[in-house]
């Protein structure tokens, strides 16, 4: 549609999640007319994220050191572990201020349609963490949709011989949705009202 650099930018923006062709075009033209300092800041942020951000060696949250802030925090308890799909879910739960334990980020959810099975997620790493015996309660906070529920059921069955208390967030979360879209109060309540699941 456009020539060279402009079209390349539109194509790249269009590859981002949630950005359709129209939005890609709008963002591209916004950037074309933006102050050069603003564009430079955006470029610098992209470069920094690529160079400096990595995944925590313990929980697989995003981190700027070997371990993330949460794993490094000595004030948090080691006996409760909350399993989530993505780092953005950690942020959503942290916003509620209901949870003072640690996290484990799976990197997605089981989805046979998309060809994602347990081996594609950090399930083995979760089991290794649970083996050392420090964790007594596992809270499964996968998304309240088909894939999230399937993942929760799978994990509950998998860990059942370990004798942990396993719980799932209470209902009240928007069904079929994504954890990050729940407001803080709703998510906080779902956390407080979590229910034991017996596999």
Binding site for Zn ion (CB under 5 A): 56, 58-59, 61, 68, 71
Closer to Zn ion by Cβ: residue 13 or 68: 68
Shortest distance in whole angstroms from residue 131 CB to Zn ion: 18
Closer to Zn ion by Cβ: residue 105 or 109: 105
Shortest distance in whole angstroms from residue 108 CB to Zn ion: 17
Closer to Zn ion by Cβ: residue 66 or 114: 66
3-state secondary structure the chain: CCCHHHHHHHHHHHCCCCCCHHHHHHHHHHHHHCCHHHHHHHHHHHHHHHHHCEECCCCCCEECCCCCHHHHCCCCCCCEEEEECCHHHHHHHHHHCCCCCEEEECCCCCEHHHCECHHHCCHHHHHHHHHCCCCCEEEECCCCCHHHHHHHHHHHHHHHHHCCEEEECCCCCCCCCCHHHCCHHHHHHHHHCCEECCC
Shortest distance in whole angstroms from residue 20 CB to Zn ion: 34
Shortest distance in whole angstroms from residue 67 CB to Zn ion: 5
Shortest distance in whole angstroms from residue 181 CB to Zn ion: 24
Closer to Zn ion by Cβ: residue 95 or 196: 95
Closer to Zn ion by Cβ: residue 24 or 83: 83
């Amino acid at each position: 549609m456009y020539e060279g650099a402009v079209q390349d930018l539109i194509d790249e923006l269009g590859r981002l999640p949630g950005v359709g062709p129209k939005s890609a075009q709008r963002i591209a033209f916004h950037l074309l007319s933006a102050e050069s300092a603003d564009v430079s800041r955006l470029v610098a942020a992209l470069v920094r994220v690529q160079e400096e951000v990595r995944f925590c060696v313990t929980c697989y949250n995003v981190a700027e050191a070997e371990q993330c802030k949460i794993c490094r925090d000595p004030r948090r308890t080691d006996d409760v572990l909350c399993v989530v799909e993505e780092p953005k879910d950690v942020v959503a739960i942290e916003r509620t201020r209901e949870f003072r334990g640690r996290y484990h980020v799976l990197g997605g959810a089981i989805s046979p349609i998309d060809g994602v099975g347990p081996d594609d997620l950090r399930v083995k790493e979760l089991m290794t963490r649970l083996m050392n015996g420090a964790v007594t309660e596992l809270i499964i906070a996968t998304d309240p949709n088909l894939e999230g529920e399937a993942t929760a059921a799978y994990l509950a069955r998998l860990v059942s011989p370990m004798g942990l208390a396993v719980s799932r967030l209470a209902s009240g979360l928007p069904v079929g949705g994504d954890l990050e879209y729940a407001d803080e109060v709703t998510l906080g309540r779902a956390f407080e009202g979590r229910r034991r699941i017996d596999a």
